[in-house]
Amino acid sequence: GDSVTQMEGPVTLSEEAFLTINCTYTATGYPSLFWYVQYPGEGLQLLLKATKADDKGSNKGFEATYRKETTSFHLEKGSVQVSDSAVYFCALRLGGGAQKLVFGQGTRLTINP
């Protein structure tokens, strides 16, 4: 079935470090891909998305490129801040009328000053 696999956490970095969180997927058809972020005590917020191969989603300094050949959607940021500490979820959306999301297990990121 359709699934998303994320890099195991937790991840701890120092401020201004480079971040990569790996995400790979298995899907029938051509899903849309998303990164969601969950700050402590809050619900999920959409961080960025890509709807077709080679699309690059970007927001708040984060980027991810939809790579169909490697079925990947890795999240990157060049210089992280303490305020980026959160749990990050990669997800794919199945087509059709229901717009259902399939999530990875989440990666907890902690940035130390």
Decide if 89 contacts 25 (C-beta within 8 A): no
Among 33, 66, 86, 106, binds another protein (CB under 8 A): 106
Among 7, 11, 17, 101, binds another protein (CB under 8 A): 101
Q: Does 42 bind another protein (CB under 8 A)?
A: yes
- Least spacing, CB of residue 34 vs another protein, in Å: 8
When computed from its CA atoms, the radius of gyration of the chain, rounded to whole angstroms, is 14
| Residue 101 CB contacts under 8 Å (≥ 6 apart), including other chains | 34, 91, 92, 93, 94
Q: Which residues bind another protein (CB under 8 A)?
A: 4, 6, 32, 36, 42-46, 49, 89, 93, 97-106
